[in-house]
Amino acid sequence: MERKYTSEVDGSSGEVKVQGWVRDKRDLGSIMFLVLADRTGEIQITVKEDEVGEEIMDRAESLNRESVISVTGKVEENEQAPGGSEIHPDSLDVLSESEKPLPMDPRGKQDASLSTRLDNRFMDLRNSKRRAIFEVRNAACSGARGWFEENGFMEVHTPKITVSGTEGGAEVFPIIYYEKEAFLVQSAQLYKQLMQAAGAEKVYEITPQWRAEKSRTPRHLTESFSVDMEMSFIEDQEDVMEVQEKVVKAMVEEIKDSASDALDELDIDLKVPELPLKRLTYDEALEIAGEKGEEIQWGEDINIKAMRNIAEKLEEKGHDFYFIKRWPVGERAFYYRPDPEDGKYTQTFDLNYRSWELSSGGQRIHDLDLLKKRIEEQGMDPSEMKFYLDAFRYGMPPHGGFGMGLDRFVASILDIENIKEAVLFPRTPDRLQP
């Protein structure tokens, strides 16, 4: 008999075969209730002494919670059972016996710290609310990929080991590459730009990246995933922002369409953003922060407290997603183009969801001499980036793009306080396993 998922079973199903984990067990002597869980839900298995043989009854009595079983039986309606129906078994086979005690309770009836849950992530993810996060994440990726494919972008897969850091500085992980030193990439940035010199014009990638930050905050990871895009023949950063907001809208629409059950499980009312998204300049953002009592020195980054103040004001007007654009040149990486009208600004933007910074992007420098100058201004040696700079010698079109943190996107829209909850197996300065 072909297996059915619990979500496919109802009172009219007749004889069925289900397989999954024994999530719960109640022994009332002559009758026993098992709750079988699979990836789609749960169903009650009702084992009555006067209906089954002694072998099935003994097998059910000896089961430990979280053992994996296969059950064949008749479905009957029962309003008091989970999902409104139950299975009366004709056969019950144990596929894998679980040890006891369990390292944690996947039902969530007994509290466990986040550290304990992450140490036992395989067990933690048996919880339907935890797993719902990754149904949303899957839908977010599908939405992004679908929009890019429909709009003529090519998916690429860039190297994750490189000869130098993407943005310089100390936030890189060195590795031993045979007898040489190499680094894990901080982003796909340089290679996305090389694809513009290659004539690809429109590329995207959903990619891992690594930053050796020592930050131990609820919003930082050492290994993260990014939705990256790069495109040629743009006028300015506004062309990139238009793509960014359309991608975000497509991601939200796909989540609401294909992961609505997961949103219900998480009790999230997610709204599709109206386009165009709200746009603030860096100066306007500082002005709002100042009104709320958080003074930011011009040229500095906007701290989290100020960002919360800005987000609070914008939320009052219905703006969850919003851009902050025209950042100071000192706050942006070397490859961003200074504003030709005022060189103290760059043609860049950040995309935020409430107080979460999700994405950075803008127009890149495509002039070789200016690019070399910016590299030197940031204390790096252009000769160490020959493979990158060579691409600008033989015809590089005006181009730009963005990199959006997938982990942050998921955590922010689901109102998850700690970003580690939005990652299957998170990596931080203190966590390298499982």
Annotated catalytic residue, options 220, 308, 427, 431: 220
Annotated catalytic residue, options 23, 126, 219, 354: 219
Annotated catalytic residue, options 205, 357, 399, 421: 357
Q: Is the dihedral of CA 17, 21, 24, 27 positive or negative?
A: positive
**Would you give the distance in Å from CA 139 to the centre of its chain?**
10
Active site annotation includes 219 = yes
Annotated catalytic residue, options 245, 254, 408, 421: 408
> How many CA atoms does the CB half-sphere of 59 hold within 13 Å?
21
Active site annotation includes 408 = yes
Coil, helix or strand for 5?
coil
Active site annotation includes 399 = no
Annotated catalytic residue, options 332, 360, 399, 421: 360
Active site annotation includes 374 = no
> How many CA atoms does the CB half-sphere of 149 hold within 13 Å?
8
The C-alpha R_g of the chain, in whole angstroms, comes to 27
Residue with tokens 């011009």: 298
Q: How many CB atoms lie within 10 A of CB 398?
A: 18
- Name residues whose C-beta falls within 8 Å of residue 50's C-beta, 6 or more positions apart in sequence: 30
CB 110 within 8 A of CB 67: no
CA atoms of 404 and 205, how far apart (whole Å)? 11
Active site annotation includes 65 = no
Strands across the sheet containing 180-184:
161-162, 180-184, 174-177
Active site annotation includes 357 = yes
**Alpha-carbon distances, residue 26 vs 18, 31, 78, 87, 102 (angstroms):** 19, 9, 17, 15, 17
Give catalytic residues, as residue numbers: 211, 213, 219-220, 357, 360, 408
